[in-house]
Structure 1
Amino acid sequence: MTDSEATVRRRKPEPKSKKASDPVEPEPETVESEKEPEKKPVPVEKLLEDEDSYSPYVDILRVITFLFFASCGLSYLISSGETFFWGMKNPPNYLKANWWKLQLNGPLYLTPEQLAAYDGTDPAKPIYLAINGTIYDVSSNARTYGPGGSYQYFAGVDASRSYVTGCFAEDRTPDMRGVEDMFLPLDDPAVDKHWTKAELAELRAKERADAERQVYEGLLHWVNFFKNSQKYSFVGYVKRPEGWPGTEPRRQLCEAAQSQRLKRQIPEKEAS
Structure 2
Amino acid sequence: MSWFKTSITGEDPEPYVEPEDAPKVRDPSIPNRMVTDKAANKPFLSYKTYREKQKQLHEKWLERQKIRKEKIARGEEVGPEERDPTEPEEVGLVGLLKFIVCVIALFAVTGKLFAGSYTWNYESKLEHLKTFIPTDQRYFSERTLATYDGSLSGKPIYLAIDGDVYDVTKGKAYQPGGSYHYFTGIDAARAFGTGCIQARTHLTHDLRGLTQDEIKTLEHWKDFYANHKDYKKVGRVAHKPIDPSSPIPEHCKDRKDDKSEKGNKKGDNVKKEERPTTKETVHEEL
Same fold (TM over 0.5): no
Higher relative contact order (CA 8 A, sep 6+): 1
TM-score, normalised by the number of residues in structure 1: 0.42
